[in-house]
Amino acid sequence: MKIVVLDGYTLNPGDLSWKELEQFGRVEIFDRTPAEDVIRRAAGAEILLTNKTVLDAAAIAKLPLLRYIGVLATGYNVVDIGAARARGIIVSNVPAYGIDSVAQMCFAHILNLTNRVADHAASVERGDWCEAEDFCYWQYPLMELAGKTMSIIGYGALGQAVARLALAFGMQVLIHTRTVPGRLPEGVTHVDLDRAFAEADILSLHCPLTEKTAGMVDATRLSLMKPTALLINTSRGPLLDEAAVAAALNADRLGGAGLDVLSEEPPVRSNPLFRAKNCFITPHIAWATREARNRLFIIAAENIRAFLQGSPCNVVN
């Protein structure tokens, strides 16, 4: 059996092993695959693994031996699910592998904005402390999290993990979610969307990208927020109207933003958020701790094993 990994570098730049796949068949691994090379490289494969390389209907139609597509991620929009279903090709994803890592990155952005540790450390390295008139100084406002309100949009497993961290910091937690839970932990309150925006000291997005949520953080909702509030997005870039967020930051109508995702990735240099005040952007790495990537790989391998045993799991089509 031929197994092809179309874009393995993101998952495994060299610190993990692909050997787990070799028990299932002959494995070919490509770091990256341009669109024009997909069909040639995937030719003859019965099992195809992809992270962000697109497998559209045209490509699927030209791969007659293909039986299984494993998406090395939770989101599976890179695969034409309908075309795969029509061919009887199973498509599986890898859910819930990075909850702790993404929640950690969410708070890394929060702590960066509230304590500015790297900026103050750089100031000390420049010699500013040595020249200071007092025993201490700070160059940015410092914020204590205890007693502040954190609004979480989306309350799935990730939203719940972030809520637990917020409670541990002594914060009050407001959530807005499509399906209201029957019972919430002490300190967590379900509210409507406008209240979640209006009362947030920190607003964190953990909802899926849908037609209803695309651009949900727009000028109207930003106008509801406190001018000192912080916006965190470790979910999906298109949840933001990026021009509106940049405008709010530059006009001091929003206190700061910590973003791990953008609407286009890799981004264009003209993205307005690159020039926005107090905006910190990381390159979509919340999921990428070694521990999370290793879990992803283990689950992906188990998905293949389950498929070969006739009981496929994590099937999305």
Give the catalytic positions in this structure.
236, 265, 284
d(CA 20, CA 43): 22
For 204, counting Cβ atoms within 10 Å of its Cβ (0-12 exposed, 13-18 middle, 19+ buried), the class is buried
The 3-state DSSP class for residue 106 equals helix
Q: In the structure encoding, which two tokens stand for residue 202, read together? A: 């920190």
Helix-then-strand count for the chain, H and E: 11, 12
Tell me how many degrees the CA angle 192-179-160 measures, rounded to the nearest 5.
85
Given a contact cutoff of 8 angstroms between Cβ atoms, the answer to whether 312 and 303 are in contact is: yes
Residue at 66: amino acid letter: L
Q: What is the dihedral of CA 269, 270, 274, 277, to 10 degrees?
A: 160
The first and second tokens of residue 287, run together, are: 């999921």
Query: Is residue 101 packed enough to be buried (19+ CB in 10 Å), middle (13-18) or exposed (0-12)?
Result: buried
